[in-house]
Amino acid sequence: MLRSPSAPTDLATRADIDRLLRRFYERALVDLVLEAPFSTLAVIGLDDHLPTVGDFWEQVLLRTGRYRGALVPVHAALHRQYGLDAARFDRWVHLWNEAVDELFAGTNADRAKAKAASIAAAISARLDRASSA
């Protein structure tokens, strides 16, 4: 079956990941649920942040091994300041899935959504454990 020219293709390159991240962050930065924890990006600048996040998602989806950061400490600091509760993680996953679905379709797109949900759940659980310890 032939795809129409406007039908989304799968996430396949770093350029695709960068496009997805821009679409997601455009929304997250102004979302009523997420704008407070994402306000730090307004200070440091999205252009400085996106290469690191792009490296992370490129590693997750395309297995490049480029990411050298640490997710949990960054999110723990945000959690202390803003309270990253389940509603915020759910909203993050929702906006992420919307951005993926608008731009892409295929195995990597599906994996991007599944990985986002599992990463959000893992970080949320870890922050909850740390808060109650």
The pLDDT tens digits of the residues spanning 24-45 come to 999 998 999 888 878 877 677 7
How far apart, in whole angstroms, are the C-alpha atoms of residue 73 and residue 79? 10
pLDDT of residue 113: 98
Least confident of 58-72, 91-105, 111-125: 58-72
pLDDT of 63 higher than 70: yes
Cross-strand bridge partners of residue 104: 9
Across the range 110-121, mean pLDDT stands at 94
Across the range 80-85, mean pLDDT stands at 68
pLDDT of 67 higher than 90: no
The chain-wide mean pLDDT, for the chain, equals 83
Q: Which residues of 64-100 are buried (b: 16+ CB within 10 A; e: fewer)?
A: eeebeeeeeeebbebbeebebeeebbebbbebbbebb
